[in-house]
Structure 1
Amino acid sequence: MHEPHSGPDRRMFLRATALSGAALTFGGLATPSASAAPGGFPDYTYVRTLLTPSQLKYNPTGEIIFPTVRGVYDKLSSPLGRYYLYYAPHDAPGGICLAYGDSMEGPFTEYPDNPIVSNKWDPHYSVTHVSSPHVLWNQDAKEFWLYFHGENTTTRLARSKNGVDFTYDKVVLTTSMMPAGTSETSYARVFRYDLPSRGARYVMLFMINNTTDHRDIGWGWSADGRNWTFAQTPLVRHSDVGAVNIGGPHLLTRDGSAFVVYNKDKSSGGDMMITEVGADFSLRKHLGVFYNSRSAPPDNGRSAAPTFGTDGGVPYMVYEAGERLAGSIAVARG
């Protein structure tokens, strides 16, 4: 996933998660890892709940989803906190929201003027809802690039110098770019990842649905993060892993190979799964459960939409915990 970071200390965001033997490597620093999930990644353990809808000032629907956490202390001269946590309600009107804090374990403070992006943005769009924020630090442009959906048929891009105030850019993905019968192309995450054979420097992972009403993981590639080519067949199919639906994909890398972490719907177990796709995305090696959702709160048997980072050399996973549209944002430590 290659999120470039620099700075005087080593509390860096996860760029390309790498394990060599029992050592977890972040930006050249090795940290012992007591145990490992499939693929050699850390075995994450729930720490605490970070955000609960009922405790938020902006709470139009009583639910929030799809966190993205980014280290900003080495990119901004006067940040609100060391880490920015983006999230959103899903149901109408949705709204892209921000919280900030100085530790991956929290606490996080709600930005007072949420939402920072709403479901109406003249003259660009007026939709029932916007949701699923994924923020990429684009080192080439020295900007925060926000990918978000609204409606579920359309993924858009907005750009910001400070991570708070965004300028609309363009539509980057719609159902019309996929095979006939495609009904949803949403929940996209974008990563800095080189695919030389395709002339690409960025990879997008997203959820795709069609007339069968079974959600799969789609993917695309881009030279600049704005103009995309999309595979016309799923990267991971729900049937590959015995699920009704899969979604919330995230890219990890290790030892020169790429892996996709994603979640099953609760009726299929509610856990996060991992599939190795190889350096060129031609491999399909399903490795099993990446994170086993706890039956206790806040997971209540479902975990989804992970985002990853480190703090003081310790790996963390921030994720959507609990029933779909009735959960919270939680953090687990590796």
Structure 2
Amino acid sequence: MHEPQHGPDRRTFLRATAVTGAALTFGGLSAPSASAAPGGFPDYTYLRTLLTPSQLRYNPTGEIIFPTVRGVYDKLANPLGRYYLYYAPHDAPGGVCLAYGDSLEGPFTEYPANPIVSNRWDPHYSVSHVSSPHVMWNADAKEFWLYFHGENTTTRLARSKNGVDFTYDRTVLTTAMLPAGTTETSYARVFRHDLPALGARYVMLFMVNNTTNHRDIGWGWSADGRTWTFAQTPLVRHSDVGAVNIGGPHLLTRGGSAFVVYNKDKGSGGDVMITEVGADFSLRRHLGVFYDSRGTAPDNGRSASPAFGTDGGVPYMVYEAGDRLAGSIAVARGR
């Protein structure tokens, strides 16, 4: 299937090709389909900027990336707010950070003791930077599981009962687990998703790079979220969608199928794209543009690393807005 051309009909194309169904699932949370796009995904419209580096106390590099938002009001007795928003600078020293708020529309308050995970954690590691925090609520363990990278070759896992204080667990992904020539395995997100044929209950999506210096979307599966098996070929290749690089993947499920959304052309502008992979990840159906980045601030032609949640039944997308390493964290509301 050819990718739609840039123009006003791109979302019409997406609605026409999306699989029908009654609900959307965002990282394990379900919400009604938006009425503006019956039988399709919501149209997301920029609402506001949530975090700007210059307004943060912990701001070692003037940049932040890779937001993840989690509702904690139904998991913690006395949370700091209804929602926890995790993010990080990327450049050294990085550092996993937390903000909290009572609405996905903001405002969010910076946690005063950021970073909650730094680039040195004795005796486990000492690296130039840690970044790309993805926090999953593990209902089996009743814990928040944090997946993060540092260096770009290594993805790690830490665990927490309260979403703030984490205990180191293990390394879960390295370049050595992928084919020879792999140079990066980072920006991982993990989702509860059953793959019975593989004996798996969790799926990991991540960015993979190799000596050709074109980034693709890799994937793996696990029974417990700790020990992983990884596909040795990409789930989505940059060439599949006419991109130089793709990254920042997130899983959505809907109508009995699964979809991967991801940013196109990392570092050089671009939109958020969508590919249907099917419930068993055997399908590769490229559906085009999921979110059309705006040419005005804060997007300035680039939207990336989307994360999703619902608030009062309304779907939201939290994402990187603006040039890579020079942007902010923004929220868009679905309709």
- TM-score where L is the length of structure 1: 0.91
Provide the residue aligned with 1:159 in structure 2. 159
How far does residue 40 in structure 1 lie from its aligned partner after superposition? 1.5
Contact preservation (8 Å) 2:267, 2:323: no
The one-letter amino acid paired with 1:114 is N
Q: Indicate the residue corresponding to 2:243 in structure 1.
A: 243
- Equivalent residue of 2:316, what SS? strand
Counterparts of 1:135-146 in structure 2 under 5 Å?
Answer: 135-146=135-146
* TM-score (ref. length: structure 2): 0.91
Q: Deviations over 1:4-33 (max 9, x none)?
A: xxxxxxxxxxxxxx9856x65567764652
Letter in 2 for 1:320: E
- Indicate how the Cα distance of structure 1 residues 162 and 255 shifts in structure 2: closer, same or farther if over 3 A, else same: same
Q: How does 1:104-253 map to 2 (within 5 A)?
A: 104-253=104-253
Contact in 2 for aligned 1:243/1:268 (Cα 8 Å): no
- Note if 1:33 corresponds to 2:35: yes
Letter in 2 for 1:51: L
Partner SS state of residue 68, structure 2:
strand
Residues 209 and 215, structure 1, Cα contact 8 Å, conserved in 2: yes
| Superposed CA offset, 1:261-287 (max 9, x none) | 000126775100000001111110000
The one-letter amino acid of 2:235's match is L
Whether contact under 8 Å (1:244, 1:268) holds in the other structure is no
Matches of residues 1-334 of structure 1 in structure 2 within 5 Å? Answer: 20=20, 24=23, 30=32, 32-35=34-37, 40-265=40-265, 270-334=270-334
One-letter identity of the residue aligned with 2:207: M
Q: Aligned with 2:176: secondary structure?
A: helix
Give the secondary structure class of the aligned counterpart of 1:40.
coil
**Correspondence for 2:4:** none
Secondary structure (helix, strand or coil) at the match of 2:118 reads coil
Inter-CA distance 30–208: structure 2 relative to 1 (3 Å threshold): closer
- In the alignment of these two chains, the number of paired residues is 314
Q: Which letter maps to 1:60?
A: P
- Opposite residue 249 of structure 1, the aligned amino acid is P
For 1:64 and 1:207, the matched residues in 2 are separated by 18
> Are residues 147 and 299 of structure 1, via their aligned partners in 2, closer, same or farther at CA, if it must alter by over 3 Å?
same
Alpha-carbon separation, structure 1, partners of 2:52 and 2:265: 21
**C-alpha spacing 1:277/1:58, structure 2 compared with 1 (3 Å):** same
CA contact (8 A) 2:143 2:159 kept: yes
Mapped contact 1:206–1:247 kept (Cα < 8 A)? yes
- What is the one-letter code of the residue matched to 1:317? M
Cα distance in 2, alignment partners of residues 329 and 165 from structure 1: 23
**Contact conserved, 1:24 with 1:33, CA < 8 A, in 2?**
no
Partner SS for 1:191: strand
Partner SS, residue 85 of structure 1: strand
Kept in 1: contact 2:269–2:323 (CA 8 A): no
Per-residue Cα deviation, 1:247-271 (whole angstroms, up to 9, x for no partner): 0000001111110000012677510
Partners in 2 of 1:236 and 1:32 — Cα distance? 27
**Structure 2: where are the runs of 5+ without partners?**
1-17
What is the RMSD computed on CA atoms of the aligned residues?
1.6
What percentage of aligned pairs have identical amino acids?
85
- d(CA) in 2 for partners of 1:116 and 1:25? 31
Letter in 1 for 2:65: I
